[in-house]
Amino acid sequence: MKKVIREFECAMCGGCCASQDLVQLTTYELYRLSRHLNIEPAAFFEKYCVVAATSQNPMPHLYIKTINNACPFLKDNKCSVHEARPYACQAYPMRVYWVLTREMKDFVRAHYKLEDACSLFKLDDNDVLLGDYELLAQQTIAYWVDDAYFSMAAGEIDLSIPYRVADFYIHDKAMLDAAKRYVVNPEHPPTAYDSELAYAKITLTLQAAVWDTTSAFVETAGQEVGEDACIGKFLMMKTDEESVKAIRMLVESGRLDRARTLAIDSKARKDLCIVAALHGSSSDHLALGFTIGVEREILEDLTNNGKKPLYVFFKAQDEGKLAGFPLNIKI
């Protein structure tokens, strides 16, 4: 009979801390650790960190360098930074919200030699482990931010950028809710699609921070296809009146000199493409963005299979004058 284990009780054997190639870290946690140790983040990075790709994380990510496979903060078999330890350490052994104990045992066996000490192996194989919901959601957001930043960063890395973006979204209810849905069931299509939209929004926020502009996002409430004699077919979305005014003001100012568009095939919903765009003005230090899912067939029709721009317009609920711009995307 399965038993739900709501809280994993760590035996504090120090075994997992002493058998690591690298310790997973995010920029958000780096700042927390540097504050705890009262040193500058750049100095912490220089002394303790490396950006590397691993077999589990093929994209470059931030890690704490180990010394003879031990975490540098392991002192006398105890964590010397316990109050500020990384999310991965706080969440151990959980990586998602729930899992069968036997599956988690298999994972731990593959990475560590802990069977004689870790309290995980005292649990029944059919027990169900539950993780810390809030903690795992925060870890997911911090990880998404770093994943997006290190994927897009070219040349010099400014760690303050992913830190600021993570700090904002970790306290944003909508993003936390998306991360919570993801950690409960990351493989379920609606949940995975929801996280894809969240990831795209994070990417655009990072881009705005790189541009040193304040960013805002237009929330849409439905979409439809329109047609105009001059530009042909276009995508039209409903939003609030203030958003339409802001878009129109930026477009009509003639100062939109920065733009980034993402068009990504959704892995969760094969018929959809995620379109995310950010348009900004360097002189106004302002950028507006949006993320939407568009049926791939519609997207191909609107752009003539990618041969012409995608025209996107927004309208308020009470109709009125439209505001929008063309997007150059590759599909």
Contacts 24+ apart (CB under 8 A), 301-309: 301/233, 302/225, 302/233, 302/234, 302/235, 303/329, 303/331, 305/331, 306/330, 306/331, 308/232
pLDDT for position 112: 74
Cα–Cα distance between 17 and 10 in angstroms, integer?
12
pLDDT for position 69: 87
Domains in the chain: boundaries: 4-133, 136-212, 217-327
177-193 pLDDT, tens digit each: 999 999 888 777 778 89
Burial-class residue 297 by CB neighbours within 10 Å (0-12, 13-18, 19+). Answer: exposed
pLDDT under 50 in the chain at which residues? none
What global pTM score does this model have?
0.89
pLDDT for position 40: 96
pLDDT for position 275: 95
pLDDT for position 1: 52
pLDDT for position 98: 79
